Chain A
Amino acid sequence: MSFKRISLYLVVSVLLISHQWTFAAEWSGNITAEARYFFEDALDNRQHRSTFSLSAQPEFYHEWDNRYQSLTFVPFIRWDEHDDERSHFDIRELTWLKAARDWELRIGIRKVFWGVTESQHLVDIINQTDLVESPDGEEKLGQPMVNFAWIQNWGTLDLFVLPGFRERSFAGSEGRPRTNPLVDADRAVYASPREDRHIDFALRWSHSIGNWDIGIAHFNGTSRDPDLLPGLNLQNQPVLIPLYQTIDQTSLDLQLVTEDWLWKLEALTRQGQNGGRYFAFSGGFEYTLVGINDSDADLGLIAEYHFDDRKDFAPTPFNQDLMLGARLAMNDVQSTEALAGFILDTNDNSKVFSIEASRRIGDSWKIMLEGRMITDTPSQSPLYSLRKDDYVQLELGYYF
């Protein structure tokens, strides 16, 4: 079944069920305006120096059966001034949950996060990246699933059946930042003859033992990371064509907390991406300075190292990279926060700087600032075609 058909079935069944409900609905969510400004002219003259965009993400939630059952519906819509691919609609969540004493069952579209590190989410694989939303890959598309969690003294065992593969979203011709040449997502090809109808499976055991949080997982199915192959579009212009491989991935995520220190490790071995097997890990620490200068503010110092044994052939920029970062939390009424990061590729010397900051205004508004800069990228780096796309972005969100 395709994602669209699954979504349609789910929406119709929810409408049929909700018709019989006689209780007050619970709505929340946000509406956000975003302005992005690029410091340089783009590589492609169809792109722009600045863009304006609006998004809305309402959320409906209802629980019954003494909190043992719930329904969540989170649609998302964005309009972008220039980029037709970024103007898009998605169902982030549409899930029925049934919880019992030692199990939980979830059916529907959902978002699941696995992992512990900050600068890369290596083992996180259930959801596809909604890349047009944010170039850092933190935003995800809703994934249809049946998820059964078996909860025992020895930990939680999660089984996922994942029908309806989601293709990664890529910026359109006027979108920015993006690769050059652009990715033609409509021409995506699959290693599996079942294409996007392949049903994927995942199994994860997770547990907290004293100071440790641990997760071990296996995934079998369509890789969320496409290989980007040079090709031509229908107008015979050069484009990148996404190729989705069928993979097996086994992963570990581990975290240890000791007072001021959080130690983190994510590691995986993946078979099937480009045929062979590869190994990758991300690991590091976050050290928190509590109450700096006798204030209420906390400063977290973050260091992480990324390794991918495909090295320069890795399609990811995180092949042998060092990340250093600082997170400031003012712990004030407005929840003022800032995160600054610096990533150095220790092989080719390319550098990424990023900053994110946010602050609440009153009770219902929030202002968010984001900036990203890439320098010293050699032509063989996956970041090379983003070299002109340094930007600063301001968002104002209304929350209800």
Chain B
Amino acid sequence: MTYLIRSLTICWLLILLPALALAESAEEKGLRIATESDKKDSGWSDQTADLVMILRNKQGDEARREIRTRSLEVDGDGDKSMSIFDTPPDVKGTAFLSFTHALKPDDQWLYLPALKRVKRISSRNKSGPFMGSEFAYEDLTSQEIEKYTYKWLKDESLDGQDTYVIESYPAYKHSGYTRLISWIHKGHLRPLKIEFYDRKNSLLKTLTQHDYKEYLPGIFRADRFEMVNHQTGKSTTLHWANYAFKTGLSSRDFDKNSLKRAR
């Protein structure tokens, strides 16, 4: 008898589910896609990669910055990450440690090798530029679901690829943005393009992510990021190389002791 009831319940659910999906609001759909994207990009444990940043001013003059990055996936909290600067030579050995959190402010430390000093960084400066680039700190830290609220706008084809277009609103009151519009690839669920709108709700920057590769089953990374600032005419290219996953890093590789010997 219970078996019959259970079967019936399942039948009903199967009939009702598509209807429930139809009743999903644009906000719920936006959150669902963001959650699926986040879930799909989990299980990589840890990641290391080399980054070359090319900063360009309006006149096209270029400056080059080389950074090594390490990240650690943390269950139930934001990721931990460390960035080590190799160039320009006067900042060589400077290292930046960050613990991302979903709701409370991130913890950030900077190691200054000339002074042998670890400095705590006020977590307020997320909207500021990273290394003089067109990327803000908040663009580069791990994107936790709770950091935004979402709204699905439409489905659209972007350069022949099917995407969900989702608007997201930073929950963090000191964010430099009022909203972001993201074009999320329907297959790997990673963004192909993001538009950033400033505090006055004018289009500030556009980020495009190119040359996605699947490094682990379901784990995709872009090799090239292009950020263009529409208001200043400046732009920044990030070239990612030597991606490695599950290298055996632990939380011990992301503490103040390891920051001091990061190099």
Binding site for B on A (CB under 8 A): 28, 30, 61, 63, 70, 97, 99, 101-102, 104, 111-113, 115-116, 138, 149, 151, 156, 206, 208, 210-211, 213, 255, 257, 259-262, 286, 288, 290-291, 296, 298, 331-335, 360, 363-364, 366, 397, 399-400
Contacts and interface: CB of A to CB of B under 8 A. Distances in A.
The contact size tier of chain B is 35 or more
A28 B64 CA distance: 17
Interface string B57-90: 1000001100000000000000000000001111
Nearest to A288: B122
Contacts of B116: 111-113
Given A296-B129, A364-B89, A149 B263 contact: no
Given A61-B263, A206-B256, 14 more contacts: A28-B93, A70-B261, A97-B261, A101-B252, A104-B261, A113-B117, A151-B252, A255-B120, A260-B124, A290-B128, A331-B129, A363-B63, A366-B90, A399-B90
Interface in B207-263: 250, 252, 255-258, 261, 263
Contact of A138 (B115, B129, B256): B115
B91 interface: yes
A384 to B, nearest CB: 29
Nearest to A72: B263
B92 A28 contact: yes
14 contacts: A104-B261, A111-B116, A113-B117, A116-B120, A257-B107, A259-B105, A259-B123, A259-B124, A260-B124, A291-B176, A332-B129, A333-B55, A333-B57, A333-B63
Contact of B132 (A63, A208, A298, A335): A335
Contacts of B115: 113, 138
Interface of B: 55, 57, 63-64, 87-93, 105, 107, 115-117, 120-125, 127-129, 132, 174, 176, 250, 252, 255-258, 261, 263
Contacts of A61: 263
Nearest to B61: A333
A206 B257 CA distance: 10
A28 B63 CA distance: 19
A298 B132 CA distance: 12
